[in-house]
Amino acid sequence: MQQEHAVIDPIDEPLVQGNKTLQQVTRDVADHLDQPSSKAWWVGLGISASALALGGLCILYLMTYGIGTIGKNKTIGWGFLITNFVFWVGIGHAGTLISAILYLLRQKWRTSVNRSAEAMTLIAVMCAGLFPLMHMGRPWLFYYLMPYPNTRGSLWMNFRSPLVWDMLAISTYFTVSAVFWYLGLIPDLATLRDRATSKVKKAVYTLMAFGWNGSGRAWHRYELVYLILAGLATPLVLSVHSVVSFDFATSLIPGWHTTILPPYFVAGAIFSGFAMVLTLMLVARKTMHFEEYITQRHIDAMTKVILLTSMLVGLAYLSEFFVAWYSGSRYEQFHFLNRFFGPDGWWAWVMYGCNMVVPQVLWFRKVRENLVLVFIISLLVNVGMWFERWVIIVSSLQADYLPSSWNFYRPTIFDFGVMLGSFGLFFTLFLLFAKFLPMIAIAEIKHEVAHGGHAIKHGEAA
């Protein structure tokens, strides 16, 4: 029996509000690139560039006097720096998830946020890369990690080492993300080139747009390559945080030596990354007036991803406890008791509170629609995820098998300075990106506007 349904599918709700014409889309995204920067932008840049400069000074001090100036000691060799490294790599993951995995899953809502999320990935990986370099103590010797025939013996790197895997994974991740991001930018750069009025801008955009002219033959191949890159980036992003977790999981330290770490790290990375995307997007949509492009629907979808990954992370935490108890290993059991009730137990309470408990309020639609609350939750999740890495690294190292070598990690002002510098770098680069490049994928949005299920008004000016 056939029946006519008059059901309105919520999925069919237009992605972009305001019934835009193609021209309007270009203008909405590109106009602010031509206007003088707002006061808020300058204030933001001033603060983040100052933080970056302060971080730079701390790094200079660190390099001059050696890494003894930070809180590391004989027992705890991985501390603040590696925590920040894992934190920033994790932040990066959401960008690839949005740009590649959601693309393969045909989640069209990704279109409004993918460009800036990918930019966030690139910048976060740059911030991450800073920390292992400093952690080396002699960063000018970083090329020892590169596999090439050399005059040192020839002293090759050890391909069995998770640290080498890590270097290869992160550098591959950065390169592939950068290529993917730039490929997406090419059509939009051509749009900017065509509307540029100043000579300098025209020259720069001409250089960057690679002669793109919207050719149908080029689009035909471009779409295939975009799909291939999405298919390559998907296993890549899963591999990156898995490999980061191998740094820990292949060791014998209680709290590290566990097979659950790879999926646990990947879920945590997506969790923290989405929180950071939300933090940035909520500010950007307000200050840059993208409310019609980044709608409640997008925020709703992202908060739901946060809720889901919060529970995945929670499940991993609980499995960890269970395995510690069930394994019968006294060292594992002691570690988890120490994590909660030891002298620095408050770290764990912050971590579990922010990551497992706080996001549960996102079950309620009222909360998901209250943007101030969503913003606060996204910040708390980032705090919680920073503490997760801190707890995993430091609380595992500070009390392992040999009580005589137990110790505390007390970060010095230089630890905090370098971390502040990485946040400065992150926000400085993100603000520059927002100023000089289109934050929303213009061509992709146009495709959605034209084929997203509602009629389009052609041609006429707004």
List interacting residues with other proteins (CB under 8 A).
Answer: 21-23, 26, 147, 154-160, 164-165, 168-169, 172, 175-176, 179-180, 183, 186-187, 190-191, 193-195, 206-208, 210-225, 228-229, 232-233, 235-236, 239, 243, 246, 442-444, 446-447, 450-451, 458-459
Count of alpha carbons within 13 angstroms of residue 129, beta-carbon side = 18
- What is the dihedral angle through the alpha carbons of 112, 116, 119, 125, rounded to the nearest 10 degrees? -100
Q: Which two tokens stand for residue 460?
A: 């006429």
Q: Looking at this protein, which amino acid is placed at residue 186?
A: I
For 444-457, give one letter per residue: b (16+ CB within 10 A) or e.
Answer: bbbebbeebeeeee
CA-wise closest residue to 141 among 170, 132, 149: 132
CB of 265 to other proteins, least distance (A): 14
Sign of CA dihedral 284, 287, 289, 295: positive
Closest CB to other proteins among residues 183, 315:
183
CB of 226 to other proteins, least distance (A): 9
Instruction: Confirm if 118 and 184 have CB atoms less than 8 A apart.
Output: yes
CB of 264 to other proteins, least distance (A): 18
Closest CB to other proteins among residues 29, 51:
29
CB of 455 to other proteins, least distance (A): 12
Closest CB to other proteins among residues 208, 367:
208
Count of alpha carbons within 13 angstroms of residue 69, beta-carbon side = 17
d(CA 33, CA 196): 10
Closest CB to other proteins among residues 25, 385:
25
Closest CB to other proteins among residues 193, 298:
193
CB of 207 to other proteins, least distance (A): 5
d(CA 28, CA 34): 11
Closest CB to other proteins among residues 224, 413:
224
CB of 241 to other proteins, least distance (A): 13
Sign of CA dihedral 301, 128, 428, 116: negative
Q: Which residue has the tokens 């040999």?
A: 402
CB of 161 to other proteins, least distance (A): 9
Closest CB to other proteins among residues 69, 161:
161
Q: Which two tokens stand for residue 142?
A: 């970083």
CB of 228 to other proteins, least distance (A): 5
d(CA 374, CA 366): 10
In sequence order, which residues have a C-beta less than 8 Å from that of residue 266 and are 6 or more positions away?
A: 93, 238, 241, 242, 245
CB of 170 to other proteins, least distance (A): 9
Closest CB to other proteins among residues 194, 300:
194
CA-wise closest residue to 256 among 133, 397, 445, 142: 397
Closest CB to other proteins among residues 49, 218:
218
